[in-house]
Every structure is written in structure tokens, then in C-alpha cells.
């Protein structure tokens, strides 16, 4: 199984954990991380993840996220098709970077796009190329022991 985690998903454990939704998404993201580290799930990394992470002003968070790249099985640099797909998603109302993340996930044939961004999740009915889930729903869907 191949997944793509967007930047907001990588950053979720660093968000304010006083909100229940954020706490459970963080826990689910950490379970996903363990499955990736143990080779049970294949992680895709992309140029847009690097670009967004580079904008992080917190050096410790930035380095911890960069360190996770070593567990990825695929590093995607983008193609001319990436731009076409991203433009399609942007026309649906998604932000440019979110659109590029989705395009990267689809081009690398990821089975799931994992995000904590509700704006992206709400667009799932219009995006048929990939299954979009938040980390909690992903863990529920695949089962914790898979």
C-alpha cells in the first residue's frame, strides 16, 4: 500500500494538542508513521513537501520532518502532467500547493492521500483519482493491525 501525507499531516503532532480532534489526528498520524518505519506502508515524498517544509520557521520541526523523508520509497520531482493535474484541482477551488500535493500523489499511484485539511477532504466527491482521508479515518479503514 502506497500513501502520500501532505504537509499539514506531517505538522499535526506539532499543533496545539488541547483540541480533541487535533490530538486524535496526531495519534493516528504517529501510528501511520510507525507502519511506514516498519515497512508496512510505502511513503511517497515530493518536491512540494520539501518546498513547504523549507518555509517552516521552527528549525526543530523542519529537521524532524526532513528526517522522516528517509523512510520514503519514492521521491517525486514532478512532470508536465503534474502541472496539468494541479491546475485541474486548483479550478475546483483548492489552493495551489494543495493541488500540487494531490497531483504528486496521483502521479505516483498512491492509494491514499492523507491530510488533516478539511477543505481538501470536502473535495473528495469531485476528485475520483485517489482516496482522500484524514489520518483517523485512514487507520479505521485499513485496521490498526494491517
Length of the chain as a residue count: 146
pLDDT at site 143: 83
Q: How many helices (H) and strands (E) does the chain have?
A: 8, 5
Q: How far apart are CA 100 and CA 85, in angstroms?
A: 8
Q: How far apart are CA 50 and CA 65, in angstroms?
A: 9
The model's pTM is: 0.94
Total domains present in the chain: 1
pLDDT at site 145: 55
Give yes or no for residue 130 having a pLDDT over 70. Answer: yes
Q: For 61-104, how does the pLDDT look when each residue is reduced to its tens digit (9 = 90+)?
A: 999 999 999 999 999 999 999 999 999 999 999 999 999 999 99
Give yes or no for residue 3 having a pLDDT over 70. Answer: yes
**Three-class SS state of 75:** strand
Give yes or no for residue 31 having a pLDDT over 90. Answer: yes
pLDDT at site 80: 92
CATH value at residue 36: 3.40.50.1010
- What is the span of the domain harbouring residue 110? 2-142
Amino acid at each position: 500500500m502506497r500513501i502520500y501525507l501532505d504537509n499539514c499531516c506531517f505538522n499535526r503532532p506539532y499543533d496545539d494538542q488541547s483540541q480533541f480532534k487535533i490530538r486524535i489526528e496526531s495519534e493516528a498520524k504517529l501510528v501511520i508513521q510507525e507502519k511506514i518505519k516498519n515497512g508496512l506502508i510505502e511513503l511517497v515524498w515530493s518536491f512540494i513537501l520539501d518546498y513547504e517544509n523549507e518555509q517552516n520557521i521552527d528549525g526543530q520541526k523542519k529537521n524532524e520532518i526532513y528526517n522522516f523523508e528517509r523512510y520514503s520509497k519514492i521521491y517525486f520531482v514532478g512532470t508536465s502532467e503534474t502541472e496539468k493535474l494541479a491546475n485541474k484541482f486548483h479550478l475546483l477551488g483548492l489552493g495551489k500547493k494543495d493541488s500540487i500535493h494531490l497531483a504528486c500523489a496521483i502521479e505516483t499511484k498512491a492509494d491514499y492521500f492523507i491530510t488533516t485539511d478539511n477543505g481538501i477532504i470536502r473535495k473528495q466527491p469531485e476528485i475520483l483519482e485517489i482516496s482522500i482521508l484524514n489520518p483517523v479515518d485512514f487507520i479505521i479503514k485499513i485496521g490498526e493491525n494491517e
